[in-house]
Amino acid sequence: MASQRIQGLPELPARVLRPETEVGWVTGARAVAATVFRVPLPEKCVLPILQTVSADKVGVWGIPWRSSRDAVLQRLGPIWQCRAPNQLRCLMFFVGRYAVSYTFLFDEEGLKMLSIDPQQPIRDLRTLLLRWLGAPSVEFEMPSLAGPKYPEQHMVWMRDGYRVCVSQTTYKTSRAGLSYERTDPAEISIRKDLVRGILNAAAQATNPLVLPTDARPPILMNFVFFFYHWVARHPSKFVSGRPGFMDDLWGALAKEIKSSLYVNLGPTERDKAVANLQPLLNDFMTEFARYRMPSPEEERQPGTLFYELGRRVAEMAGHGREDYVVLGVAGTAATSVKSLDYLLESSRELA
């Protein structure tokens, strides 16, 4: 199986870390990191290593999507470790020192993803990927564990039946990983419906409000954030059972916002405007995560999602002290989410 993993890469012979060695690597990570994992990965080695994997709508590495973990393990052999019930992992060394981790991930349907994680820092990965894969379908930032100064950079390339995802974080050193992930027609369909549903709900909630001209765009965007947040908290399997679904949904929303709401701006200004939405969304999600989901009898109570949205919108509109505005916005939001609930409830049959 080792020859299959590095097919077409004679200049990068790989040494697979055996199970007993891998255990030693895990327990002795500090010593290894001190010598190996601080060495930047040479540019000439980055793409050849990432290209050790091929994927299509049928599967990855010739292994069909939705294969069971046992079936994949039987095919790959004992060098792959069962680190968790939903994954298989192997560490390889290229040219004796460039370490790369390969991980198969599984969901309830079977094989979902194969990730490739070089263990060394990578310089200017974005330029290499643009040269290899072309312009990404979606590009956005997300907060990282290292803190707000070190956001995760995400790029997604949508393909027929699968997607290529890259995340990169720069904190002391630049770390990056690439993954091939299965996509389902039903998932793509529900994402498109949710994009339309969120933007329509935001427009319908904003239009009746009497607002100063400069207040309308930010209020519209806060409604977009709110309905996105509502989807994130829904128990639908499309949301809770599919890692990355909300990231993909935001990427699709951002793309639609750029093409439909910022038409009066030039291409560069549109890109900048959409990029500036990400930290605002992050702050919104962090704040509204503190508010509780309301029961039917407390939809307009302080501390609930709808009331706090109403208060925020009323303050932005200059009516923060007027309860009828707060409650009116809260009531509109409570009504508008029903269409999103319908879409998400319908997705239970597809998930």
Per-residue pLDDT of 296-306, as tens digits, reads 776 668 888 99
CB atoms within 10 A of CB 171: 14
Cα–Cα distance measured from residue 74 to residue 36, given in angstroms and rounded to the nearest whole number: 31
pLDDT score of 225: 95
Q: Say which residues have a Cβ less than 8 Å from residue 299's Cβ, sequence separation at least 6.
A: 306, 307, 330, 331, 334
**CA-based nearest residue to 50, from 16, 84, 105, 101:** 101
Cα–Cα distance measured from residue 296 to residue 241, given in angstroms and rounded to the nearest whole number: 26
Is the model's pTM score more than 0.85?
A: no
Which two structure tokens, joined as six digits, stand for 189? 């369909």
pLDDT score of 349: 47
Cα–Cα distance measured from residue 100 to residue 25, given in angstroms and rounded to the nearest whole number: 13
pLDDT score of 223: 95
pLDDT score of 29: 39
Query: Average pLDDT per run of 10 along the chain, which is 351 residues long?
Result: 36 45 37 51 81 86 90 82 80 71 86 88 82 81 62 80 83 74 78 89 87 85 94 75 74 86 81 88 91 76 90 88 86 88 66 46
176 forms bridges with which residues in the sheet? 168
**CA-based nearest residue to 232, from 218, 251, 221, 245:** 245
**CA-based nearest residue to 114, from 29, 42, 54, 184:** 54
Q: Determine the Cα angle at 171 with ends 155 and 151, to 5°.
A: 40
> What Cα–Cα distance (Å) separates residue 53 from each residue in 208, 232, 280, 316?
52, 32, 36, 50
Domain extent listing, the chain? 2-182, 185-347
pLDDT score of 202: 92
> What Cα–Cα distance (Å) separates residue 308 from each residue in 38, 293, 294, 331?
47, 11, 11, 12
Does residue 101 contact residue 121 with C-beta atoms inside 8 Å? no
- For 167, how many CA atoms within 13 A lie in the half-sphere containing its CB? 16
pLDDT score of 187: 73
Does residue 248 contact residue 156 with C-beta atoms inside 8 Å? yes
**CA-based nearest residue to 224, from 273, 261, 266, 259:** 261
